[in-house]
Structure 1
Amino acid sequence: MEGGPGEETSALGQWRTSFSRVFQHYLDRSTPHPVRRWLGTLAAAAVYVLRVYFLQGFYIVSYGLGIYILNLLIGFLSPQVDPELDHLDGASLPTKGSDEFRPFVRRLPEFKFWYSITKAFCVAFVMTFFSAFDVPVFWPILLCYWIVLFVLTMKRQILHMIKYRYVPFSVGKKRYTGKKSYASTSGD
């Protein structure tokens, strides 16, 4: 008997495996190009914002998307080992100037942060095609509530950063450039 249910499942499984490998290949190739990745995400966000603007709806979906992105941002700005929660001897952040330098390790790495935000915009975009998600609400209240939530959350995060003296960004930090060659600069 050909074409039975077992063969159909096997063909579907092979297709999913093949698709998964190709998708992972392109994800791996995008890893060393953060600017291009973020520009792609910005384009996806712009398409989503334009769709919501022209449809004049789906504000609950947008609010949920905003809350999710805020949650991801907190993970991105937080250290992997939180000094308030984990009192480990060797893996904590330095709290004094005399402490040994330890690099900042994020709870949510940049690639996973980017990937999660991109997936969220894609899922929210797909949700705008289903009228069940277009719940009528007064959107200015949702916007005000989200702004208050954002300000309070960021205030708490910034106070945490000040208290434990860490900066989650590498802008302005010293970088090792290697030994300089002085032989080529002596030229007569």
Structure 2
Amino acid sequence: MMQDEDLGGPVRRNIFVQATSRLSQIYQSYLDLWTPHVISRWVFAIILVITFVLRIFLSQGWYIIMYALGIYHLNLFISFLTPRNDPAMDFEDGEGPELPTRSNEEFRPFVRRLPEFKFWYSVSKSTIIALTCTMFDFFNIPVFWPILVMYFITLFCITMKRQIKHMIKYRYIPFTHGKPKYHNHDERLVGK
């Protein structure tokens, strides 16, 4: 007996695969539409996080999920603040590369380990997953929440202290606000 693939015609794809592919395309098109709207995206993410926090406080449960989400968001934030190529890993002598301080030095822009869009996307997706987890009682593990708050604050302080020391040691600032802007001499002359 002959199979469909032996007939030489186009191979028919499973309807489930077609539907999944179409949903993936629609989802990606919406993500592409959101890409240029940075402020709107972050307002959406903050509203999601506030909704999650309100859900936790009003239900007085699921503290372990809140702790896990906080740790995950802290990990994302640290990845957002660090450069893609860590200067501490580039040199064994302890003297790492530094950003240029004079005009004749090489300029290397700050490239993040975790880009802003992926940071927003991960924060939003993880918050939605955490909100979904609060719908199920078996995730509501009884814990003494002040201990979790203490652990999180301690972990946050230690991690941020280490990150700030790293930023000072290798002289980089992960934000562009307030940085001096250099202009090309030719551009200023053409404008006159």
TM-score using structure 1 length: 0.84
Deviation sequence 1:16-65 (CA, Å, 0-9, x none)? 11111011001011111100000011111111111111110000000000
Gaps of 5+ in 2: 1-12
Residue 114 in structure 1 maps to residue 148 in structure 2: no
Deviation sequence 1:153-181 (CA, Å, 0-9, x none)? 00000000000000000001234676574
- Structure 2 distance, partners of 1:38, 1:97, is 33
Percent of pairs with identical residues: 49
- Structure 1 distance, partners of 2:147, 2:174, is 32
| SS of aligned partner of 1:26 | helix
Residue 163 in structure 1 maps to residue 187 in structure 2: no
| SS of aligned partner of 1:85 | helix
Residue 44 in structure 1 maps to residue 42 in structure 2: no
Q: 1:31 to 1:176 in 2, by over 3 A?
A: farther
- Give the count of matched residue pairs: 171
**2:86 is matched by which residue type in structure 1?**
D
Residue 94 in structure 1 maps to residue 98 in structure 2: yes
- Structure 1 distance, partners of 2:22, 2:59, is 36
Structure 1 partner of 2:78: 74
Residue 61 in structure 1 maps to residue 92 in structure 2: no
Structure 2 partner of 1:104: 110
| SS of aligned partner of 2:135 | coil
CA RMSD, aligned part only?
Answer: 2.0
Residue 11 in structure 1 maps to residue 11 in structure 2: no
Structure 2 partner of 1:127: 133
- Structure 1 distance, partners of 2:99, 2:54, is 45
Structure 2 partner of 1:6: none
More divergent stretch after superposition (38-47 vs 159-168): 38-47
Gaps of 5+ in 1: 1-8, 183-188
